[in-house]
């Protein structure tokens, strides 16, 4: 039995893996078990619509006996399909975090109409299946109690609203702030950055500025009063209005328009001729056709053009890493219309998500959550080596370590894009040429094919890791 690292905080139950199956043990259900989870229960329509991740109720007698013995306190179990890969909210680009927030709110309003509510508001209750959000925390669904406020309101604001507000305002470090604090970005910090006028313009004056004032006064009252103040009561209609207000605010938010040319426009502004681009497409299709990857990782995916090519050629799913905001925003838009799962993550390969949380194990590192069997790394290594100063001796082994086989594009120093990112000729850089690249690659992998794809000397190299 392997407990899920991030589920130990929930007193109602925990997620475990047993014999490669995913179970959620239920300790003390607040909703009737198994009625709530039956195929004809109140949640059936959410399962069929893809809003709620599938959950099959099982009695103690229906799970493997050894599992029931290991969890004697469980009154029942839910079995779930595996979510693969697991991603975290601070890795999602603006568009995906916004989709997840809207799904969370729409799902909550629909639950209220059925006499249910959500016990918390964490963004970690949502996962991405490709570019589509789905609610995964079955035990967060509880019966609604008249007059009871939403305990997860502040948590929702910290993990959804506040990051989106700062991102829409143009704060480029919102993801680093989010990653540095597991609950999300505090309302006080958001109010400080937006100010009362910024919060008012964003339609979030009540949710940010006033909430920060109330939070500060409540903290003083709790510290000084012998009996802490009771939380205010909310009617169901009042709670629904508050959730609707959050939905309106978030729905209107958009990422800021970036000035100048960004990599998001790279598909239409690069140094490839039409024939060279067609050749590159063909080589990617042939690579995917030969290997039929279950999961393909596109490091430096830009707006997702080649991830889409790979999916059309037969890859079952794709994950993209891209650090540029406008580019990954376009990739997220692309993901929403693709028939196969494409998950674009705003990740800088030089600083991928580490393990964080309790004992540095509550949220696993990205490398430990992502297991892909094929790699695309196209037009990236010159950025890493010439622009960011990482030697080829470190760039190549790191890239190869992410998947057992793949395609890497070498861009020579003379290429117009390489000259553009390298800066002035007098700038010191590490040795960078094709022969050195091949030598380093051959130290960790077998080179299977080399194809020159541009007049300037770009080469697409296929490898199989040793």
**Does 263 map to a domain?**
no
Residue with tokens 């195929």: 39
**Does 262 map to a domain?**
no
Task: Give the containing element (helix H, strand E) for 13.
Answer: strand 13-18
In this structure, the answer to whether residues 208 and 315 fall within a common structural domain is no
In this structure, the answer to whether residues 376 and 394 fall within a common structural domain is yes
In this structure, the answer to whether residues 233 and 279 fall within a common structural domain is no
| Domain CATH code at residue 413 | 3.40.50.150
Q: What is the pLDDT of residue 254?
A: 93
**Does 261 map to a domain?**
no
Work out the widest C-alpha separation in the chain, in whole angstroms.
78
pLDDT, tens digit, 9 for 90 and up, residues 249-282: 999 999 987 555 455 565 655 556 788 899 999 9
- 103-107, 217-221, 365-369, range with the lowest pLDDT: 217-221
Residues facing 446 on adjacent strands: 464
pLDDT beyond 80 at 150? yes
pLDDT beyond 90 at 387? yes
**Does 176 map to a domain?**
yes
- 2-11, 125-134, 253-262, 265-274, range with the lowest pLDDT: 265-274
Distance (Å, whole) CA 321 – CA 91: 9
Distance (Å, whole) CA 15 – CA 102: 25
pLDDT band at 33 (very low <50, low <70, confident <90, very high): confident
pLDDT, tens digit, 9 for 90 and up, residues 36-88: 898 899 999 999 999 999 999 999 999 999 999 999 999 999 999 999 999 99
- What is the distance of C-alpha 61 from the center of its chain? 36
In this structure, the answer to whether residues 135 and 22 fall within a common structural domain is no
Whether the Cβ atoms of residue 163 and residue 184 lie closer than 8 Å to each other: yes
Crossing angle (nearest 10°) for helices 392-400 and 434-444? 40
Domain boundary (51, 80, 109) is at: 80
In this structure, the answer to whether residues 95 and 68 fall within a common structural domain is no
Range of the domain at 209: 89-252
In this structure, the answer to whether residues 74 and 137 fall within a common structural domain is no
pLDDT band at 246 (very low <50, low <70, confident <90, very high): very high
In this structure, the answer to whether residues 285 and 397 fall within a common structural domain is yes
**Does 403 map to a domain?**
yes
Domain boundary (80, 102, 135) is at: 80
pLDDT, tens digit, 9 for 90 and up, residues 411-460: 999 998 888 888 887 677 899 999 999 999 999 999 999 999 998 899 99
Q: What is the pLDDT of residue 264?
A: 54
Question: How is residue 393 written in tokens?
Answer: 């001796």
**Does 223 map to a domain?**
yes
Distance (Å, whole) CA 374 – CA 310: 10
Whether the Cβ atoms of residue 453 and residue 428 lie closer than 8 Å to each other: no
In this structure, the answer to whether residues 245 and 284 fall within a common structural domain is no
pLDDT band at 244 (very low <50, low <70, confident <90, very high): very high
pLDDT band at 32 (very low <50, low <70, confident <90, very high): confident
Task: Give the containing element (helix H, strand E) for 66.
Answer: helix 65-70
Q: Which of 164, 267, 250, 161 is nearest to 208 (CA)?
A: 161
Q: What is the pLDDT of residue 219?
A: 54
In this structure, the answer to whether residues 360 and 318 fall within a common structural domain is yes
Average pLDDT over every residue of 400-416: 96
What is the average pLDDT value for the chain, to the nearest integer? 91
In this structure, the answer to whether residues 284 and 171 fall within a common structural domain is no
Question: How is residue 230 written in tokens?
Answer: 């009771």
Distance (Å, whole) CA 42 – CA 27: 21
Distance (Å, whole) CA 359 – CA 427: 42
Phi first, then psi, for residue 215 (nearest 5°) are -60, -40
Residue with tokens 């681009």: 277
CB-based burial label for 385 (10 Å; 0-12, 13-18, 19+): buried
Q: What is the pLDDT of residue 211?
A: 75
Q: What is the pLDDT of residue 261?
A: 46
**Does 349 map to a domain?**
yes
Query: Left if phi > 0, otherwise alpha if psi is -120 to 50, otherwise beta: which for 199?
Result: alpha
CB-based burial label for 465 (10 Å; 0-12, 13-18, 19+): middle
Residues 6+ apart with CB under 8 A from 427: none
**Does 405 map to a domain?**
yes
Distance (Å, whole) CA 382 – CA 460: 13
Question: How is residue 381 written in tokens?
Answer: 């290594």
Strands 342-345 and 318-321: parallel
Compare 225 and 332 and report the one with higher pLDDT: 332
User: For the chain, what is the domain count?
Assistant: 3
In this structure, the answer to whether residues 301 and 401 fall within a common structural domain is yes
Long-range contacts of 276-283 (CB under 8 A, 24+ apart): 276/453, 276/454, 276/455, 276/458, 279/451, 279/453, 280/306, 280/378, 280/409, 280/453, 280/460, 281/306, 281/309, 283/407, 283/451, 283/453, 283/460
Phi first, then psi, for residue 214 (nearest 5°) are -65, -40
Whether the Cβ atoms of residue 160 and residue 123 lie closer than 8 Å to each other: yes
In this structure, the answer to whether residues 76 and 93 fall within a common structural domain is no
Domain boundary (228, 252, 276) is at: 252
pLDDT beyond 50 at 344? yes
């Amino acid at each position: 039995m392997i407990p899920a690292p991030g589920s130990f905080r929930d007193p109602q139950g925990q997620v475990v893996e047993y014999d490669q199956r995913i179970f959620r043990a239920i300790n003390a259900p607040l909703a009737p078990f198994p009625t709530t989870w039956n195929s004809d229960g109140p949640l059936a329509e959410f399962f069929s619509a893809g809003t709620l991740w599938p959950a099959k109720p099982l009695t103690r007698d229906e799970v493997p006996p050894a599992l029931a013995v290991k969890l004697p306190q469980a009154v029942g179990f839910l079995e779930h399909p595996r979510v693969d890969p697991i991603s975290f909210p601070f890795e999602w680009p603006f568009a995906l975090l916004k989709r997840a927030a809207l799904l969370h709110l729409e799902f909550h309003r629909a639950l209220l109409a059925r006499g249910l509510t959500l016990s918390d508001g964490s963004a970690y209750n949502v996962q991405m299946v490709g570019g589509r959000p789905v609610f995964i925390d079955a035990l967060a669904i509880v019966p609604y109690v008249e007059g009871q406020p939403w305990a997860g309101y502040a948590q929702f604001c910290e993990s959804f609203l506040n990051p989106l507000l700062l991102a829409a305002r143009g704060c480029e470090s919102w993801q680093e702030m989010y990653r540095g604090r597991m609950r999300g970005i505090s309302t006080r910090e958001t109010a400080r950055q937006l100010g009362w006028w910024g919060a008012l313009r964003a339609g979030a004056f009540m949710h940010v500025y006033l909430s920060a004032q109330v939070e500060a006064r409540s903290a003083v009252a709790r510290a000084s009063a012998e009996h802490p103040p009771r939380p205010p009561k909310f009617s169901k209609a009042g709670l629904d209005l508050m959730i609707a207000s959050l939905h309106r605010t978030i729905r209107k938010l958009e990422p800021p328009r970036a000035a100048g040319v960004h990599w998001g426009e790279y598909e239409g502004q690069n140094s490839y001729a039409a024939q060279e681009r067609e050749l590159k497409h063909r080589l990617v299709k042939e690579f995917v056709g030969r290997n039929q990857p279950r999961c393909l990782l596109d490091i430096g995916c830009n707006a997702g053009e080649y991830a889409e090519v790979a999916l059309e050629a037969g890859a079952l799913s794709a994950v993209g890493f891209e650090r540029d905001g406008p580019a990954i925003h376009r990739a997220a838009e692309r993901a929403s219309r693709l028939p196969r799962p494409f998950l674009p993550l705003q990740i800088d390969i030089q600083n991928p998500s580490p393990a964080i949380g309790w004992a540095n194990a509550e949220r696993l590192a990205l490398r430990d959550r992502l297991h892909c069997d094929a790699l695309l790394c196209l037009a990236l290594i010159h950025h890493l080596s010439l622009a960011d100063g990482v030697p080829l001796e470190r760039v190549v082994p790191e890239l190869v370590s992410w998947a057992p086989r793949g395609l890497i594009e070498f861009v020579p120093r003379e290429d117009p894009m390489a000259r553009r990112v390298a800066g002035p000729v007098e700038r010191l850089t590490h040795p960078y040429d094709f022969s050195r690249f091949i030598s380093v690659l051959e130290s960790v992998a077998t080179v299977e094919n080399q194809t020159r794809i541009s007049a300037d000397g770009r080469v697409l190299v296929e490898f199989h890791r040793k």
